[in-house]
Amino acid sequence: MLDRTDSPRPLPADAALRARAASVIPGGLWGHMNAARMPADFPQFFSGAEGCRIRDADGNEYVDFMCAYGPMALGYRDPEVEAAAAAALAKGEVGNGPSPVLVDLAELLVDTIPHADWAMFQKNGTDATTACVTIARAGTGRRKILVARGSYHGAVPWCTPSLAGVTAEDRAHLVEFDYNDVATLRAAAEAAGADFAGLIVSAFRHDARKKQEMPTPEFARAARAVCDAAGAALIIDDVRAGFRLHVGGSWEPYGVRPDLSAWSKAIANGWPLAAVTGNDRFREAATQIFVTGSFWCGAAAMAAALVSIRRYRETDAIPHMAAMGERLRAGIAAQAAAHGVALSQTGPAQMPMVLFDDDEDLAKGFCFVSAALQRGVYLHPWHNMFLSAAHRPEDIDFALEATDAALAEVARRFG
């Protein structure tokens, strides 16, 4: 692992901010953006972004392959999205009720997403997944929720990965199965029995530090079938993959439609918004539950979402992200072969994960991303990455120059 003394490019402004943060923010930062879990030469603080480029607090620029962990999909500060949000902001962000844009956006989602008969809005992905689970329970009058072992659905007690501060009661009605394993899925449904309220499943298997897996068609169909047999709700957590794989929902290509879906991240190209979409079977339940938030009706993010979703529908944004991901993947594969480095590249090309073989401690991964970072390319060693519509072929080729040098460094250090 590199430490900062190895870094040819010290980050004094970042270091100063981290030192100040350490005394006034627990751990220096909560959650996944705490750079303490990254190689030591990774910046934690950023001062700006445009297109597919980000600038750290010290003024260094990188071609970015994290896209703010997903929210950016059309480019940072996309002019059309920003103009729509600014126009909404100019009229007032909050009021005693929502702006008319809320109805426009619900209509657009219902028109865009085949399973959706209605939509509700929140701010974060966790708000949406939690609302889906609550609606499933309200609609069925049952308690058990089937969830894939190790999958991420948010950061509140029913689903957060850390058990600190979580009670056994918070998790009492979760029944686990293994992603893509129909036998354990059926066994979980059987164990839930007459108390089976819903099944929540991510669009594909995108667990941190693991090879990604697309759902098999058998698994997707079995998920629908076990819910239908029990009268339970099929919930797709499309928070991370939504609007990057298919504009109508990530399981559309499988012909499997959920009862409820959770959306966030790319929905408004970086503006804070989440949504639940559902079918008529769960409309009454969605009416019964009480959910709200002081900022959930903010107009700017909804105006940004209207523009963003229209762009996902009407332009080649999604196939373009896939094509850029394929270009990156093919280049890295050829370079890895040339350098004799064994690695896997998994998941959809527009949400790639690169993991090195025999790299339990991530030493190779850290070496790789640090060497790329020093050449102006921001990659991630153990989380899936993200392509955007703002990545151009020349950005991918610039990145490939960096990955070539980085893979040479991995080969040199690890043989």
285 CB-near residues (< 8 Å, 6+ apart): 135, 136, 138, 139
Stretch that binds ligand PMP, among 131-139, 193-201, 235-243, 404-412 (CB under 6 A): 235-243
For ligand PMP, the closer CB: 224 or 240: 240
- Residue 302 buriedness (CB in 10 A; 0-12 / 13-18 / 19+): buried
The CA distance from 79 to 158, in Å, is 38
The three-state secondary structure class of 272 is coil
Task: Say if CB 73 and CB 269 are below 8 A apart.
Answer: yes
For ligand PMP, the closer CB: 68 or 399: 68
Pick from 44, 126, 269, 308 the residue near ligand PMP by CB under 6 A. Answer: 126
Host H or E run for residue 278: strand 274-278
Please report how close the Cβ of residue 202 comes to ligand PMP at its closest, in angstroms. 5
Pick from 2, 85, 148, 239 the residue near ligand PMP by CB under 6 A. Answer: 239
The CA distance from 63 to 79, in Å, is 19
* Token output for 208: 């941190």
Please report how close the Cβ of residue 163 comes to ligand PMP at its closest, in angstroms. 18
Task: Say if CB 399 and CB 327 are below 8 A apart.
Answer: no
Q: Decide if residue 264 touches ligand PMP (CB under 6 A).
A: yes
Structural Rg of the chain based on CA atoms = 22
* Token output for 413: 């250090």
Q: Decide if residue 129 touches ligand PMP (CB under 6 A).
A: yes
The alpha-helical segments, DSSP class H, found in 277-392 are 283-288, 299-314, 317-339, 363-373
Q: Decide if residue 240 touches ligand PMP (CB under 6 A).
A: yes
Give me the 136-155 binding string for ligand PMP, x by CB under 6 A, dash otherwise: ----------------xxxx
Please report how close the Cβ of residue 245 comes to ligand PMP at its closest, in angstroms. 13
Stretch that binds ligand PMP, among 124-132, 247-255, 336-344, 395-403 (CB under 6 A): 124-132
Stretch that binds ligand PMP, among 11-19, 43-51, 123-131, 401-409 (CB under 6 A): 123-131
141 CB-near residues (< 8 Å, 6+ apart): none
The CA distance from 248 to 246, in Å, is 5
For ligand PMP, the closer CB: 40 or 66: 66
Task: Say if CB 372 and CB 52 are below 8 A apart.
Answer: no
DSSP bridge partners of 234: 199
Pick from 39, 75, 125, 278 the residue near ligand PMP by CB under 6 A. Answer: 125
**274-278 and 343-346 strand pairing:** unpaired
For ligand PMP, the closer CB: 205 or 311: 205
CB closest to ligand PMP, residue no: 125
One-letter amino acid of 192? A
Please report how close the Cβ of residue 152 comes to ligand PMP at its closest, in angstroms. 5
Please report how close the Cβ of residue 358 comes to ligand PMP at its closest, in angstroms. 27
Length of the chain measured in residues? 415
Please report how close the Cβ of residue 261 comes to ligand PMP at its closest, in angstroms. 11
Q: Decide if residue 202 touches ligand PMP (CB under 6 A).
A: yes
Host H or E run for residue 349: none
For ligand PMP, the closer CB: 387 or 407: 387
* Token output for 322: 């896939």
Q: Decide if residue 277 touches ligand PMP (CB under 6 A).
A: no
Please report how close the Cβ of residue 129 comes to ligand PMP at its closest, in angstroms. 5
Q: Decide if residue 124 touches ligand PMP (CB under 6 A).
A: yes
Please report how close the Cβ of residue 20 comes to ligand PMP at its closest, in angstroms. 25
The three-state secondary structure class of 205 is strand
Give the count of residues interacting with ligand PMP (CB under 6 A).
Answer: 13
Residue by residue, DSSP assigns 69-87 as GTT-SS-BT-HHHHHHHHH
For ligand PMP, the closer CB: 382 or 414: 382
Q: Decide if residue 282 touches ligand PMP (CB under 6 A).
A: no
79 CB-near residues (< 8 Å, 6+ apart): none
Please report how close the Cβ of residue 399 comes to ligand PMP at its closest, in angstroms. 23
Note the residues at the interface with ligand PMP (CB under 6 A).
Answer: 124-126, 129, 152-155, 202, 237, 239-240, 264
